[in-house]
Amino acid sequence: MRLNGKNFSSYDILGERYSLPYGGECEHPTEERILMNATILFATRGYDGTTTKMIGKAAGVTDGALYRHFSGKKVLWNAVVEHTVQLYRLYHERLAAAIADEDDFENAVNTIFEEPMLMRNGFTAFAFALIINEQVSNPLAGKTFCESFLDYSIALHKGFFDKFVERGVVNAFDTELMATTFVCTVNMGIDLAVQRILGREVRLDFAECLERLKAHILQIAVI
């Protein structure tokens, strides 16, 4: 799919291809194409502003072909959300693996703050932004945002900070507040990435925001 002159592929943030939305090698390329185009349209136009006819046209399939794979708009929306959650958890699995054996707090913090900047895949940004932007108006998006984009992510980062505080290698600090601030900043950066892809002016520098937050955490935590 092309949007604003940019190509989107089904390669995730790890650079590994897998089927949408089930995982593993893709056995249904038409279904994958429909789901990818639906994700980007839902992210840019919202659930209410997107029709199955728009999705079929963007995916290059007939109405009949679309309904053979997804029986309706709600079913397709549910599949898009399911896949987005898989992407989000995959991102965190990569992060957890990267810092699992790290004993140096500063090195681990650097890794945590570098990871969002490595998330260059445009499709992934649209998938995440879809949940962030639709959380207020769509019940499923709201539930997903609270459970995955907030609770799950904040708990993972808080657990990381707690590990170092409990070992006494850093000063005690409000780990939940820091984890929440970091996660919310990353969520904001995801939406900014989409705005840039759409060709809109973005004045806020996401990388600078992360650098300032990282410096603050290291300043209050490092003994």
> 136: which 2 tokens?
């207020």
Question: pTM of the prediction?
Answer: 0.82
Predicted local distance difference test score (pLDDT) of residue 13: 38
Predicted local distance difference test score (pLDDT) of residue 90: 80
Using the Cα atoms of residue 114, residue 120, residue 125 and residue 127 in order, give the sign of their dihedral.
Answer: negative
Structural domains of the chain sorted by starting position, each given as residue range(s) with its CATH number in brackets:
2-221 (1.10.357.10)
Predicted local distance difference test score (pLDDT) of residue 223: 75
State how far the Cα of 210 lies from the Cα of 223, in Å rounded to an integer.
Answer: 21
Residue written as token pair 């973005």? 202
Per the DSSP assignment, residues forming a β-bridge with 148 are: none
Segment 27-44, tens digit of pLDDT: 567 888 888 889 989 998
Predicted local distance difference test score (pLDDT) of residue 24: 43
Residue written as token pair 């998330």? 119
Burial class (CB in 10 A: 0-12, 13-18, 19+), 139: exposed
Weakly modelled stretches of the chain, pLDDT under 50: 1-26
Beta strands 6-7 and 2-3, pairing class:
antiparallel
Burial class (CB in 10 A: 0-12, 13-18, 19+), 24: exposed
Task: Select from 72, 76, 74, 1 the least CA-distant residue to 31.
Answer: 76
Predicted local distance difference test score (pLDDT) of residue 27: 57
